[in-house]
Structure 1
Amino acid sequence: MENSSIVCEAGGLLEAPLVQADGSLLFADTTTGGVYRWSSSGTQTLVERRRGIGGLAAHADGGLLVSGRDLAYARDGETDTILAPDGTTGINDIAVAADGSLLAGVLRHRPALGESAPPSELVEIAPDGTVRVVADDLLWPNGIGFSPDGTTIYVSEYAASRVRRFDGESTAVFAEAPRGECDGLAVDVEGGVWVALGSGGGIARFAPAGDLDEVVDLDGRFVSSLAFAGTSIYVTTAGALLRLDVGVAGVPVAEAKIPTGRILG
């Protein structure tokens, strides 16, 4: 595995990396605000000012789904709310299933104010707009991913420093962070689960059975999330976007097919 390289630097906590078909990368600056597109020719602003973004997803119609204080749809400079569940403080990470459904982690506390995380939900929005609760006992739901065959959902619980596994109606602890917390995650084609370790300053790969396979140190940085591009991984951190080759490709990321109008749920 090659050493990490810095792709670009920024002032805030970078989050939500999303690789585009043309090889460019979208990411958010969750503290300073905004969504950006990085390519070899430079960095472009796509969404201005919006803060607290923990997840981005491409929509099949060409727009973008953006988390934060709510789940929103962004296109052509306009941003409209899709989902804002009652009693919540925001939507954190999001991920798209093979059928175009969207999974979203709900926040019920204010991390920036140091509030403790109460149990919260992982919700699914189906292509027909139906909203269902997948789990309601997650302690600060964060990164979300799917096994190569699509039958298993992995969800990071940041406040518990662990990853949960959901197989249909059953759930279990899949893995625990070797250090730091479990933040964003991505799954490779061999079934390995790669997890950003937050204050642990690195990323960890867990084998399909949940055993710790390796830890990649990243120079003491706060590491928030990661996304595959071929056999490389883009890693978002506090202050920089990194890239490293890991020798295995990631599970393909689908485009969302959910309605883009306001959904009650």
Structure 2
Amino acid sequence: MPTAEQLTAPIAEHGEGPVWDADGGRLLAVDLEQGDLLAVSPGGSTAKRHVADALACVRPRTGAAGDGWVVAARRRFALVESLDDLLSGREEPHMLPALWDDPDLRFNEGGCDPQGRFFCGSMAYGGSAKGGQPVGVLWRLDPDGSAHVALEGLTIPNGLAWSPDGQRAYHVDSPSGEVSLLHVAPGTGEVLDREPWVRLADVLGADPGGVPDGLVVDAEGGVWVALNGAGAVVRLDAGGGLSERVDVGVPGVTACTLGGTGQDDDGTRGGAVLYVTTSTQGVDLDAHPASGSVFVLPVEVAALPPLRFDG
């Protein structure tokens, strides 16, 4: 079993939402409940900027003059014109209207579709009165700035990514123990159906040791899934079979992405680097002091560039 190596010191209470910034040659992630944006260089140095009282997901956007990004803060979407200006404090994000008033709810995880729409799920805080209840919603932000409910009845909506051909959307609602397929109408972004794709207990054994969390899809159509509680990331091939398991070494594995730019920069022999975020929440830090760090592993598959929000 390959083992990911620790890249950074512990930099997050609850690291989440990693995405590769190809223009900046760096990894972006969030410390979710602290509301901090993290920018990590391939060497492991980290820049941090507090953005909101919770920051769940960040993705590139095409509708800005510079290196624009879209983010999901606690209960609203926001637009950024320049990531470097945001990190340096020269820019504040342009916050869009709040989507709900309930203090028990927050955004969690998401991604963009091939048509340039940004989807992000909301859920209840674990310690709230609604924690663990199916009050989660998958929201869709359209390029015109309007927000819509795409799917209801979720509990902990997590990883969301499209296949290389753009025909399949993989999605996780963590308590289900499954990776599901979302059938999304290309023209409208409407979610027409949600069906199970892979039940992790079927490919990993009766007790996978954790629940599916964030995910990323590689250029071959493989789906890399973080197993929160199991200290691992697994790769499912396009047919749903287990093709690889990566040990991370700390139990709170929250999400993963693929990045890197090839042999000249990071020695991955034309492949990508698997980046893994981790959490300190619910973890024995005496036994696992590296929790909250980012971990890395060179892999032999190519990364897909992250899809962009077209607003």
TM-score normalised to structure 2 length: 0.75
Counterpart CA distance in 2 for 1:189 and 1:201 is: 24
Matches within 5 A, 1:24-43: 24-39=26-41, 40=43, 42-43=45-46
Aligned to 1:79: 93
Contact 1:117 1:159 in 2 (8 A): no
Counterpart CA distance in 1 for 2:100 and 2:227 is: 30
Count of residue pairs brought into register by the alignment: 256
Contact 2:4 2:247 in 1 (8 A): no
Matches within 5 A, 1:18-29: 18-21=19-22, 22-29=24-31
- Of stretches 197-206 and 110-119 in structure 1, the one that deviates more from structure 2 is 110-119
Contact 1:186 1:250 in 2 (8 A): no
Over 3 Å counting, the alpha-carbon distance change for 1:158 and 1:202 in structure 2 is same
Aligned to 1:256: 309
Over 3 Å counting, the alpha-carbon distance change for 1:148 and 1:256 in structure 2 is same
Contact 2:8 2:45 in 1 (8 A): no
Aligned to 2:74: 69
Aligned to 1:160: 176
The alpha carbon displacement at 1:250 in A equals 2.4
Matches within 5 A, 1:169-188: 169-177=192-200, 178-188=208-218
- Of stretches 25-34 and 219-228 in structure 1, the one that deviates more from structure 2 is 25-34
Counterpart CA distance in 2 for 1:228 and 1:37 is: 15
Aligned to 1:218: 248
Aligned to 2:268: none
Counterpart CA distance in 2 for 1:26 and 1:44 is: 10
Aligned to 1:262: none
Counterpart CA distance in 2 for 1:41 and 1:159 is: 32
Over 3 Å counting, the alpha-carbon distance change for 1:142 and 1:151 in structure 2 is same
2:114 alignment partner, SS class: coil
Matches within 5 A, 1:238-249: 238=279, 239-249=292-302
Percent of aligned positions that are identical? 27
Q: As a proportion of its length, which structure holds more strand? A: 1
Over 3 Å counting, the alpha-carbon distance change for 1:180 and 1:83 in structure 2 is farther
Contact 1:154 1:165 in 2 (8 A): yes
- Higher-Rg structure is 2
CA RMSD of aligned residues (A): 2.3
Counterpart CA distance in 1 for 2:12 and 2:19 is: 19
Match of 2:55 among 53, 56, 66: 53
Unaligned runs of 5+ in 1: 259-265
Q: Return structure 1 stretches of 4+ with deviation > 4 angstroms.
A: none
